[in-house]
Amino acid sequence: MMDGDNCLDEPPQMLPPPPGTFVDREELIQHAGDFAVTQGYVVTIKQSKKDKFVILGCDRGGVYRNRRKPADDSSGEQHNRKRKTASRLTNCPFEAIGKKDDGLWILTIKNGTHNHEPLKDISEHPSARRFNETEVLLIKEMTEAGLKPRQILKRLRQSNPELMSTPKHVYNVKAKIRQGNVTVKNFKSLRAQTSAMINNDHAVTEPSWRQRNPPRVPNLIGGRFVDSQSFSSIDVINPATQLVVSQVPFTTNEEFRAAVFAAKRAFPLWRSTSIASRRRIMFKFQELIRRDIDKLAMTITTEHGKPLKDAYDDVWRGLEVVEHTCGLASTQIGEFAPNVSKGIDSYSIREPLGVCAGICSSEFPAMIPLWMFTFAVTCGNTFVLKPSEKDPGASVILAELAMEAGLPNGVLNIVHGTNDILNSICDHEDIKAITFSGPEAAGAYIYTRASASRKRAQCNTGVKNHAVVMPDANMDATLNAVVAAGFGAAGQKCMALSMAIFVGGLSRWESKLVESAKTIKVNSGKEPNAELGPVISKQMRERICKSIQASVECGARLVLDGRDIVVPGYEQGNFIGPTILCDVRVDMDCCKDESFGPVLLCMQVECLEEAINIINRNQYPKSTFFLLPFIFWRSRICLARFFT
């Protein structure tokens, strides 16, 4: 062991940035620059051909070693005169190289050594005195207006009080301007995020995906939200107004591989992070969700259409899972069984699997992602999330909050797309487990394809909820429960009640049920009195209407028709009012298929046994929708033999 005092006396090492693969050139440069700042040095671009390679070097600025020339004893003269600063060893040998290969940028370190000491305060580096692009343009404008350098500097400091530049630096910029060159690359260098930069309103620029109109939903790769390079995208439509809320890109193969690589690269460090540290991040995460719950609920309502009350419930149900992960430490305890056989003890250790993935449906934009990635990362895995392309906004917000809570870069990644990205998730060899929730057909396909790639797969599918109403049930309480369960969130949830079976007859319930359903207020989800909003898409509305018509043609009796409802101010919305079909039979397609929509099927039977048999014979006998963390663990069983 080394002595602690001696360790403090040693200068900190200036380590080179870790090599790796990145989705684009900017991500590679940002990675090298951010890491360098933590080590006490600054990197700058030495040479670059934008589409092929970039060479990064150290921008010096540290305290140079051996700044005095050693005395020449043979001459007999003492060289006491100090040499000028930086007159020797001005070129630091540090050099990092980034090259583009097969669509990805690969960072390698050619020389990771330095010939100077690290800076204790990175703000002392000369690069911290340089102007950003906006300030250069302001200098140009004020110069043309006749202002002197000191006047220019005084005005710049009004918006950035901690600006460390001097009039000399303004003169240098003016000289460049006179030469007709004001591009920012002549003044740009990677530097630390000092408070001066953060407080400077002009220096803050929105990411490219936010600058688009409509906004383009970003991928999250290695801790950075990046705009996809794909030219294809899907419009996210507000179902109440038909306005385009945002655009979801089809993530390219290179971007998907980069996301998986980022998760794989982050796994070794994350798995070695203590359970207490991971749990602490979850505690902070739940605080941030509570802080931004209004923003989350509004985003869900805008993209999905469900009323704000249901949107808040969506977030709260997911938040309950986050709260549960805060106490997940005890469930990660292994087992020990002494003397299972003569002289043998057995013990098991639960270990994280590695990179896991989640594929989400559109019904719960916040709850389902929270059910998936919070369990996975708390167990020590890294995660690649694919939100629904119909309502991805909540997932992006949750990812932002997770990063703010302290989740390390690469632990959570987000990619977008449809069938191609789904197939890539199922086939990628570095993804060890997949969890999915959604329709039966998609779940069966994902389970089969993922299992063929020897992955763990957990698919929650199959939705058909039944209610049995006995003849002696309380009328008001039963009607309130049936109407709320059947038409809440426009029936677009796995817990929605799609069929009510009335034992002993339906006649005394029918009129009251219709009357109660008619009182439901149909409106845009953002309206304060809304109880039922639009369905998520025009295609879903057409599918529901076709199912209603097919049921009527097969003999069902339509006692309440909501297909022709018009909501004032939202005439283009995907609205379907409460709809009730009576006298349905078990041989009708509406009783066999999964149901999503504000449609309640009513059936009457003679006895309870008959009702139970109908439920048990249905291919979806009950809704089972739960997620256990055990898919994200590997149990390693060890046998220890002790000889005497």
CA pair distance 465, 62, nearest whole angstrom? 69
Cβ pair 541, 572 in contact under 8 A: no
Q: At 378, which amino acid appears?
A: T
| Residues with a known catalytic role | 494
Structure-block tokens of residue 317: 């149900």
**Nearest CA-CA partner of 501 in 478, 468, 473, 479:** 468
Q: Which secondary structure element, helix H or strand E, spans residue 560, and what is its range?
A: strand 557-560
Quote the Cα angle for 14-16-18, to 5°.
135
Cβ pair 228, 219 in contact under 8 A: yes
Q: At 252, which amino acid appears?
A: T
Which 3 state secondary structure label does DSSP give 107? strand
Who's near 311: CB < 8 A, 6+ residues apart? 296, 297, 298, 300, 301, 304, 525
CA pair distance 591, 593, nearest whole angstrom? 6
- Start-to-end CA span in the chain (Å): 36
Structure-block tokens of residue 394: 């909540």
Structure-block tokens of residue 335: 């087992």
Which 3 state secondary structure label does DSSP give 489? helix
In three-state form (DSSP H/G/I as H, E/B as E, the rest C), the secondary structure along 313-330 is HHHHHHHHHHHHHCCHHH
Q: How many CB atoms lie within 10 A of CB 436?
A: 27
Q: For tokens 């700044």, what's the residue?
A: 67
Sort strands 355-359 and 344-352 into parallel, antiparallel or unpaired. Answer: unpaired
Q: Using CA of residue 412, residue 418, residue 420, residue 423, what is the dihedral sign? A: positive
**Nearest CA-CA partner of 503 in 615, 622, 617, 624:** 615
Cα separation values, 407 from 285, 321, 340, 467, Å: 9, 17, 41, 43
Give the orientation angle of helix 133-144 with respect to helix 167-178, to 10 degrees.
Answer: 80
Cα 251 from chain centre? 14
Cβ pair 598, 615 in contact under 8 A: no
Structure-block tokens of residue 188: 């740009």
